[in-house]
A = this chain, B = another copy of it.
Amino acid sequence: MNAIEDLARLIKKLPGMGEKSALRLSYHLLKTDDTYNKALAERIATIKEKIHPCPICASYTEDDICEFCKSETRDKSLLMVVQESQDTVTINQAGIYNGLFHVLGGAINPLNGIGPDKLRIKELLERIDNGSFKEVIIATNPTEEGDTTAIYIKRLLEGKDLTVTRLASGLPIGGDLGYADKTTLLRSIKSRIKI
């Protein structure tokens, strides 16, 4: 195996990379300015040192507490529960939500051995019990796992003085929140349904 194949082999492990696109990227890196390659390599090598989950909501941050949790202006009566940290970025960039977030770290998936205990659900209940939330918006992906997780959380929250909603129309079934466009997100937040 030569150096290009070796690089392509590693790139191929990234999500969405096939054999040809991995090889194509490797060749591309042979043509780019070496300053770029060195900069990219440095960022990849150090990203896990720079970034860690926020101790409150688990969204990734460089600070002690993330920008959402330490914000003075966000609506502390609204809590949106998402699967992954990047979902907070997607929602935030759309500029249509000003509440707090809670990152589960995935969705319930028994086939892959991911039970509720593997997710940050205990931490969610503690935050709700110690907070002043009036509404919990469950924004898990519109997939079987996301739906299962939403229903599971909804049941745990029954009896509490809370409105529990779920992002609804607009999200294509089987899709992924991370690829939703702004309009779709806006509609799904506006028409969120009580579950």
How far, in angstroms, from A6 to B23 measured CA to CA in the complex? 24
A62 CB–B CB distance under 8 Å: yes
The binding surface of chain A is classed by DSSP as helix
Assess the B30–A48 pair: CB atoms within 8 A: yes
A129 CB → nearest B CB, Å: 29
A111 CB–B CB distance under 8 Å: no
Assess the A40–B11 pair: CB atoms within 8 A: yes
A188 CB → nearest B CB, Å: 17
Assess the B179–A27 pair: CB atoms within 8 A: no
A residues 118-169 touching B (CB-CB < 8 Å): none
How far, in angstroms, from A46 to B154 measured CA to CA in the complex? 51
Assess the A10–B89 pair: CB atoms within 8 A: no
The residue that A62 contacts in the complex, of B2, B38, B44, with Cβ under 8 A, is B2
Q: Hey, what's the 0/1 contact readout for A72-114 against B, CB within 8 Å counting as 1?
A: 0000000000001110011000000000000000000000000
Known: A2-B62, A41-B44. 4 other contacts (CB 8 A): A3-B43, A4-B51, A37-B48, A42-B45
Between-chain CB contacts (< 8 Å), 27 pairs: A2-B62, A3-B50, A4-B89, A10-B40, A11-B40, A13-B36, A14-B25, A14-B28, A15-B24, A16-B21, A20-B178, A23-B86, A23-B89, A27-B60, A27-B85, A29-B47, A29-B48, A30-B47, A30-B60, A34-B48, A37-B45, A37-B47, A40-B44, A41-B41, A41-B42, A41-B44, A41-B45
